[in-house]
Amino acid sequence: MKLLYYPGCTIKRNALEYERTSLAVLNKLGIDVIELDKWYCCGALYSLAIDDLMKHLGAVRTLVKAQVQSRNTGTNDLLTLCPMCFNVLKRVNKLLIENPDNLETIAKFMDEEEPYNVGVNVYHIVEILSNNIEKLKENIVKDLNGVNIAVYYGCTLLRPKEIAIDDPEHPWIIEKLIEDLGGKIVDYPFKSECCGSYQVLINRDIVYDKSGTIINEASTRGADLIVTVCPLCYYNLKITLKNMKRPPKAKIVYISELLAYLLGLDKVLSTETKALLENVFSQAGKNV
């Protein structure tokens, strides 16, 4: 299986371990990941102004580059790790598929690029992992038994529902993945609540409040680990946990870090993450 890969700016700046572990996990599953030679900022937020096509250009240009590279790689499937990039790229792709007049306007403006034929499929890594569950099962070397795991999805993988990777009200795709690998799920009502998002730049208290509620609820219900997929959620949850006066036991990791650990890919984990996971796994075993 081959995938074209769009990293996005945040992955390359602030979420290097998410990228490293994700690529290592996919590699272990025999998936060939090819980073686009050229890619551009997706815009981070999908522009809702219907007459402002300019804001979509970065995403369209990336889709065109994926189209160009699909010819010599033989795949139209574009992998994303960051849910915000996934959200923007998939929504722009949808806009172009459904509005040929917008596509034409953009094609005329970007006349230095080849026209986009709306043939690229945008995927998030969770979808890829979910489709390759059998391979994951074959390759895990560590036992998940005993660790209580809560999943935190955040917003942009699930909303709007037209591009969601699962039911936006009751997502279970990551829980199913973990259950299939033998893990124990802690269900709780805040897994698609907002973490505070970009308020981290403006008013941290909002983030401490929103993320604090998420962490506390998951912990109260017994979570040893909170698994997430978004660099911004991850950042917000981590700083909130650090800021708590009486931090609960739950620890925060990317799904790819957990999977890398289970697959025995210890060398792609940072010493800190590895120690964190080893600690959680040894403690959980004893408590149960």
Partner 1 sequence: MSSQKTVVESSPKGSRTVRIYFMGRAYEVPEGLTIMKALEYAGYRLIRGVGCRGGFCGACPTAYRLPGEYKLRIGLACQTIVQDGMHLVILPYSPMEKPKYDLEKLKADAGDVLRIFPEVSRCVSCNTCTKACPQGLEVMDAVQAILRGDLAKAANLIFDCISCGLCSLRCPAEIRHVHLFQLVRRLYGKYILPKAKHLEERVKEIQEGKYEEELKKLMSMAIEDLKKLYSQREIEKA
Which residues in this chain contact partner 1 in the complex, by CB under 8 A? 8-9, 12-13, 38-41, 43, 54-55, 57-58, 61, 109-110, 112
In the complex with partner 1, which residue's Cβ is closer, 86 or 152? 86
Closest listed residue to residue 8, CA positions, set 39, 34, 33, 31: 39
CB of 52 to partner 1, least distance (A): 10
CB of 155 to partner 1, least distance (A): 21
Half-sphere exposure of 65 toward its Cβ, with a 13 Å CA cutoff?
19
CB of 247 to partner 1, least distance (A): 27
CA-CA distance, 264 to 57, in Å (whole number)? 41
In the complex with partner 1, which residue's Cβ is closer, 51 or 138? 51
In the complex with partner 1, which residue's Cβ is closer, 190 or 235? 235
The answer to whether 120 and 93 are in contact (CB under 8 A) is yes
In the complex with partner 1, which residue's Cβ is closer, 37 or 272? 37
In the complex with partner 1, which residue's Cβ is closer, 8 or 83? 8
In the complex with partner 1, which residue's Cβ is closer, 58 or 171? 58
CB of 86 to partner 1, least distance (A): 17
CB of 150 to partner 1, least distance (A): 31
Q: What DSSP letter does each residue of 6-61 carry, written as one string?
A: E--HHHHHT-HHHHHHHHHHHHHTT-EEEE-SS-----SS----TT-GGGGHHHHH
CA-CA distance, 28 to 173, in Å (whole number)? 21
In the complex with partner 1, which residue's Cβ is closer, 58 or 212? 58
CA-CA distance, 18 to 21, in Å (whole number)? 5
CB of 206 to partner 1, least distance (A): 21
In the complex with partner 1, which residue's Cβ is closer, 141 or 201? 201
Closest listed residue to residue 14, CA positions, set 187, 176, 232, 206: 232
CB of 236 to partner 1, least distance (A): 18
CB of 246 to partner 1, least distance (A): 32
